[in-house]
Structure 1
Amino acid sequence: MASWFIEPFISKVVEIISGDAQTSVKSIKDFELNLKALEKKSKSLCAKASDVEEQIKNSERSGQKKRKREVEEWLEEVRSIEKKVVELRTRLELEGFTIRLTDGDLPAKLIEEVDRLVEQSQSFGELALDVYGSRGDKLLTNGMVGEAFNENLEKILEHLESEQVSSIGVYGMGGVGKTTLAKHIHNRLLQLSQGRVIWVTVSQKFSVTNLQDKIARFIGLDFRGEDNEDLRAARLHTTLSQMKNSVLILDDVWENIDLSKVGCPISVDSVECCRLIITTRSLEVCRQVCCQKVIEVKNLHHQEAWKLFNETLRRSEIELDSSTEEIARSVAELCGGLSLAIIIVAGSMRGERAIHTWRNAYEELTERVSGKDGMGDGEVYNVLKYSFDRLNWNHHSQSNEFNTLQRCFLHCALYPEDGEINRERLVSDFISEGLLDERKTRSSQFDLGHSILDKLVNVCLLESCAGPGSTECVKMHDLVRGMALKIRVRSRLVYEDA
């Protein structure tokens, strides 16, 4: 027999023989009485916990309430106590007389825990809180320039304040600044509006269920165990209809969305419930979604383009002389007034003041934009590819074709479109995929990986953003990601380290 119960049993027998028999017998009787009391109290506590859980679920179904953290922790403790009671009964069946002798005070200790939980439940008050108490955080965004940008911003705000427009479409070519405009709208609404501002990135890989999940998570609606699209849509519709003065922003919409199937109560007859803003590359999509007002985001004019280029460039605090600045203006013009291209090219040229470097940049970009480089790609791709080609890193490279910085950048394209990528996870992937110098210690590799991400953010090929729980993340614009995936295909790096 195992010694784990024989030794305490023998010890207890010795105790009885030595003259403490009367005390031990009393302890056994107390065990039986306390066990009965424990099972009764535990059953009552579990019944109460079941009622609390049911009340919370009923409150959460509307999407307007979310369980208090205090209540959730209490339910966890109740489940833990319930498990301990079951384990005690199992031990009693296996060990019988032994557990009565060795752990005679266990039922009494568990009774104390049960009594504490019962007392705690009497001071809960409301079991759930209003999920709209927090209206959201400001989104990180670049500053924008130009009269057109400010006019579009004010025009959209006026439409929303007029109480006559329930849906607005913002369209324009990729990289022109639609998302940046929408982010500024989001942040202004947080300051001005009394309602909720809901931000959802739709992206190219769209499905009704996925969009429902994103909206539900944002407003605190629990869809666990519910797979029926129609029932989910009905619950979303009910919740959003009750969110007065709120605005739903759907960013990066690629195709027509049947809002009724999703559960969005957007109506041309009423603006009392949730209103809609979409950003898309297609005017046709704006019409299909039945946007009441449509606003086009156009490319920047020459002076506006130079202002944005110069503001991005000046973050390095390096002044250009007049001759170099003249060439820099010409480089800015080659970006075609496209905000994304301007920011990325200017980012790649930060810190450069030598006139020969700027002349070379102008010549290379001119060849790419004109198509004389033989690549045969679109203007936007060629401009973005120039910034990729300028990436260099003075550390050991694992490839003759790409340096370490470039390979790490290309690896970032393997993550989902518009996804927020946790920095720690990304650096770990760099290490596991052998992208970093394997001669370094793991700690040094982590430092190198974060330095690489900083570099990619500094040259504007990645964006910094806050992920779940305010974790530090990065993301890649879909045009930049498309460029990176095309490079991977051409260089036969097609998902080999996905």
Structure 2
Amino acid sequence: MIREAQVVETKVRNGRYLCRACNGKLVYEKTREMKEFLDKAPNASEALAIDGPSGGLPLPTSELVGEEAIRNEIWACLMQDEVSKIGVWGMGGVGKTTIMKHIHNDLLKKQRFERVIWITVSKEFNVMKVQDNIASALESKEYLDKEEDKLRRAAILSEILKNAGKHVLILDDMWDKVSLEEVGILKPSGGNGCKLVLTTCSEHVCKYMGCKVIKVKPLSEEEALILFLNKVGPNIVQSPTIMPTLKIVVRECAGLPLTIVVVAGTMKGEYNPRIWKNALKDLKERIGKVEGVEAEVIERLKFSFDHLKDEKVKDCFLYYALYPEDFEILKVELIDCWIDEIFIGDMDTRQEMEDKGLTILKMLEDNCLLENSTTEFGSVFLKMHDAVRDMALSITRMNPRYIVQAGLQLEELPEKEQWSSEIEKVSIMCNSISEISIDVLPTKCQLLTTLLLQNNPIKNISISFSQTCFVLVFSICPLRRSRVYQIPSLN
């Protein structure tokens, strides 16, 4: 019955809104069947064999090149009782998350730990969100749902983790030090057999948290070249006129797997040596204009964005930056948004527009600007790497058409000074804004077409914009699904 229910869930998740509505009867029938079954066997649970704790599901990963030594070092620490907390640090794009995803999957196969818990933390640390994510991973979120006090939530979560047995908790992408007690994370020790692993760009965070510090270094020139050649394609490798320039391009990627993959994706299919020389010149000029490691990484990634030949494709890419960090969205839903935004037009049928959207998605994926993630039920979600999103946000900050303040725990709208007559797209989704007032929102934004508000506890909207067209996106569920409404004018 559970398998049948999962099939129904997949149908609903993959369908369009109309299809979801049509599937409502199917969902109702399946729910009714399950309820009848349980009603007929009220004491059945006493005779059922309950499975032990589940380790979790494997995470989608990309290939590792030249990271075996670091991977083995982290693994050895996890197998030692003496080491309870491990801090994996290195610059953005160096491959920390990819390494840990492989280790996560290896831990599931090893079955030494009863649970392997993966939590993505991100820049804007939110205690309650992290608590919810850990509880959800342990299938115990209902114990926190009705509790709002952070201290009590921490106590409840601590008990949940105690009952989870020996586990490894991986906190990916930590930007600042946190108090484990404040969150309710069980202090790992040799006594309880639990481990904590965090990935971060800061060595200071590792040391403050009392971790065994492991640094992930950039790839060597040889390793970087192997990865680049794997991604750029065999035909280019066979061109003796391109190889000398290609090797210098690889060197300019500074051994960072992310930039190597993105630049290789951009140059894939280019067989003209002059284009390669121009690309090398462009890369060198970009890196020479900025100071600081992070700025250099962003400029290398901008190289790929600027080489997208179609302005509409660039608009589609920047649209994804409106969503918060680590946000995942179904392919079909993202294409629907692009169509509603009129990024995809001048076609006779909806099917042609959707086909064009898939073509654009493939182009962005081939350039490694978007990543694929498949759920256990086969649904394909899209995600943007943190460093790629930082690059996209750096572009929107220089563009007066955008205001992007998603997932920043804001309690009010951005200040009036940030709104201009050129603003077209505003994203303040996933914040703590409860009211949108006419006094805060200026009336001069005549070009505003997109206002993303979902996942805010909004209780009151008071807007009086005349002769303005909006696309308001409100969430119809707390996580991913959203619905688009076209409103000709709001008075």
Q: TM-score, normalised by structure 2?
A: 0.71
In 2, Cα distance between equivalents of 1:390 and 1:230: 50
Residue 353 (structure 1) aligned with residue 261 (structure 2): no
Equivalent pair of 2:89/2:200 in contact (CA under 8 Å)? yes
In 2, Cα distance between equivalents of 1:227 and 1:75: 35
In 2, Cα distance between equivalents of 1:210 and 1:377: 27
Q: How do residues 307-322 of structure 1 correspond to structure 2 at under 5 angstroms?
A: 307-314=226-233, 318-322=236-240
RMSD over aligned Cα atoms = 2.6
Residue 387 of structure 1 is matched in structure 2 by 304
Aligned mate of 2:391, from 468, 471, 483? 483
Residue 264 of structure 1 is matched in structure 2 by 185
- For each residue in 1:207-253, what CA deviation from the matched residue of structure 2 results, as whole angstroms up to 9, or x when unmatched? 11110011111110122212222222122212212333310000000
Residue 413 of structure 1 is matched in structure 2 by 321
Question: How far is the alpha carbon of 1:377 from its aligned partner?
Answer: 9.1
Quick one: which amino acid aligns to residue 295 of structure 2? G
Equivalent pair of 1:408/1:430 in contact (CA under 8 Å)? yes
Residue 459 (structure 1) aligned with residue 362 (structure 2): no
Equivalent pair of 1:241/1:273 in contact (CA under 8 Å)? no
Question: How far is the alpha carbon of 1:118 from its aligned partner?
Answer: 5.0
Quick one: which amino acid aligns to residue 361 of structure 2? L
Query: Counterpart of 2:241 in 1: which secondary structure?
Result: helix
Residue 472 of structure 1 is matched in structure 2 by 380
Residue 249 of structure 1 is matched in structure 2 by 170
Question: How far is the alpha carbon of 1:272 from its aligned partner?
Answer: 2.4
- For each residue in 1:280-321, what CA deviation from the matched residue of structure 2 results, as whole angstroms up to 9, or x when unmatched? 000111112121x1101111221111111111112x655431
In 1, Cα distance between equivalents of 2:64 and 2:390: 24
Residue 287 (structure 1) aligned with residue 207 (structure 2): yes
In 1, Cα distance between equivalents of 2:125 and 2:40: 49
Equivalent pair of 1:232/1:263 in contact (CA under 8 Å)? yes
Question: How far is the alpha carbon of 1:472 from its aligned partner?
Answer: 0.7
Aligned mate of 2:225, from 298, 303, 306? 306
Q: How do residues 70-219 of structure 1 correspond to structure 2 at under 5 angstroms?
A: 73=31, 77=35, 119-121=40-42, 123-125=44-46, 129-130=50-51, 132=53, 134-146=54-66, 149-194=67-112, 195-219=114-138
- For each residue in 1:403-443, what CA deviation from the matched residue of structure 2 results, as whole angstroms up to 9, or x when unmatched? 11111001011111011122111111111111111434212
In 2, Cα distance between equivalents of 1:377 and 1:260: 32
Aligned mate of 1:232, from 142, 153, 162? 153
Query: Counterpart of 1:378 in 2: which secondary structure?
Result: helix
Equivalent pair of 1:265/1:273 in contact (CA under 8 Å)? no
Distance 1:169 1:433, change over 3 A: same
Aligned positions, number: 374
Distance 1:192 1:117, change over 3 A: closer
Distance 1:469 1:233, change over 3 A: farther
In 1, Cα distance between equivalents of 2:128 and 2:314: 36
In 2, Cα distance between equivalents of 1:186 and 1:377: 27
Distance 1:119 1:388, change over 3 A: closer
Distance 1:308 1:271, change over 3 A: farther
Equivalent pair of 1:319/1:353 in contact (CA under 8 Å)? no
In 1, Cα distance between equivalents of 2:49 and 2:344: 48
Residue 277 of structure 1 is matched in structure 2 by 197
Distance 1:468 1:253, change over 3 A: farther
Equivalent pair of 1:462/1:477 in contact (CA under 8 Å)? yes
**Structure 2: gaps (5+ residues):** 1-26, 404-424, 426-449, 453-491
In 1, Cα distance between equivalents of 2:72 and 2:205: 23
Residue 445 of structure 2 is matched in structure 1 by none
In 1, Cα distance between equivalents of 2:38 and 2:274: 75
Quick one: which amino acid aligns to residue 356 of structure 1? R
Query: Counterpart of 1:165 in 2: which secondary structure?
Result: coil
Query: Counterpart of 2:271 in 1: which secondary structure?
Result: coil
Q: TM-score, normalised by structure 1?
A: 0.70
Quick one: which amino acid aligns to residue 335 of structure 2? V
In 1, Cα distance between equivalents of 2:324 and 2:82: 37
Distance 1:313 1:209, change over 3 A: same
Query: Counterpart of 1:323 in 2: which secondary structure?
Result: coil
Quick one: which amino acid aligns to residue 193 of structure 1? Q
In 2, Cα distance between equivalents of 1:235 and 1:212: 10
Query: Counterpart of 1:387 in 2: which secondary structure?
Result: helix
Distance 1:327 1:219, change over 3 A: same
Question: How far is the alpha carbon of 1:466 from its aligned partner?
Answer: 2.3
Question: How far is the alpha carbon of 1:274 from its aligned partner?
Answer: 2.6
In 2, Cα distance between equivalents of 1:440 and 1:74: 43
Q: Which has the higher helix share?
A: 1
Equivalent pair of 1:136/1:196 in contact (CA under 8 Å)? yes
Equivalent pair of 2:236/2:242 in contact (CA under 8 Å)? no
Equivalent pair of 2:263/2:301 in contact (CA under 8 Å)? yes
In 1, Cα distance between equivalents of 2:222 and 2:352: 45
Query: Counterpart of 2:344 in 1: which secondary structure?
Result: coil
In 1, Cα distance between equivalents of 2:111 and 2:235: 37
Quick one: which amino acid aligns to residue 325 of structure 1? M
**Structure 1: gaps (5+ residues):** 1-68, 79-115, 394-402
Distance 1:206 1:438, change over 3 A: farther
Question: How far is the alpha carbon of 1:123 from its aligned partner?
Answer: 4.5
In 2, Cα distance between equivalents of 1:492 and 1:320: 45
Quick one: which amino acid aligns to residue 202 of structure 1? V
Residue 326 of structure 1 is matched in structure 2 by 244
In 1, Cα distance between equivalents of 2:41 and 2:223: 62
Distance 1:451 1:126, change over 3 A: farther
In 2, Cα distance between equivalents of 1:159 and 1:77: 47
Question: How far is the alpha carbon of 1:327 from its aligned partner?
Answer: 0.8
Question: How far is the alpha carbon of 1:128 from its aligned partner?
Answer: 9.1
Distance 1:76 1:228, change over 3 A: farther
**Percent pairwise identity:** 38
In 2, Cα distance between equivalents of 1:317 and 1:455: 19
Which is greater in Rg?
1
In 1, Cα distance between equivalents of 2:222 and 2:294: 27
Residue 32 of structure 1 is matched in structure 2 by none
